Amino acid sequence: MIVDYIGISDEARRIKAYFKSINRTMTPERVCKLKTNELNIDIELIEMDLPLSTKEYKANYSYMKRQHIVQYNKRLGVYRDSALYHEVGHRVLHWRDADFVFHIDSDTYGLKTIYEIEATVFSAEMSLDDDKVLACFFNRRLTFFQTARFFGVPDEILYFKCKILQARGHKINIPITVSGDCMKGKDY
């Protein structure tokens, strides 16, 4: 699978630039409500209270009756924002793709398909700023894993942010690789 890190990153950066232009803090809730001529996200968020286990879903995007919906488990803890941005990634990147209509994956970070990888790349760009990540690596001299904990994101989100930074020409050593089902069994 070939992932267009720059193209996906640019889509996320358009949203980030919009919030910067109106001088508002970007949150998943505000992104989901976004409805302008240039950026029409317009997602209804539905919070659910489910016990967390590796067998139950964390979040899910769907498009039914002209309504974009993200259902998410309110017990996601520090990974909530990155999980919501992952689902927003499906809305931005995939909702018009006929193949995606039939793609239902209850595991938010399961990287079995190009759709899941692309949504996770989108989440990485939305969740982490280039300058802050680079500062952690090069100014503060934090390790990869310390940097992920510092930002409160799964290692896989930082992995894909580093892949974006590499695609943009930065020299970064990534000490992990990700595989399918990379978030299964993670503690929240």
The confidence score (pLDDT) of residue 188 equals: 39
d(CA 31, CA 18): 10
- Name the strand (E) or helix (H) holding 88: helix 80-94
Contact present, 92 and 42 (Cβ < 8 Å): no
- The CA-to-CA distance between both ends of the chain, in Å, stands at 29
Per DSSP, 58 falls in state S
Of 167, 134, 129, nearest to 3 by C-alpha is 167
Q: 169 Cβ partners below 8 Å, 6+ apart?
A: none
φ and ψ at 68, to 5 degrees? -90, 130
Q: What is the DSSP string of 11-52?
A: HHHHHHHHHHHTT----HHHHHH-B-SS-B--EEEEEE----
d(CA 83, CA 162): 18
d(CA 155, CA 18): 27
Q: Which residues of the chain have pLDDT under 70?
A: 52-57, 98-111, 179-188
Of 120, 105, 115, nearest to 58 by C-alpha is 105
- Kindly report the pTM of this predicted structure: 0.87
The confidence score (pLDDT) of residue 108 equals: 44
Q: Supply 43's token pair.
A: 């997602």
The confidence score (pLDDT) of residue 103 equals: 45
The confidence score (pLDDT) of residue 94 equals: 87
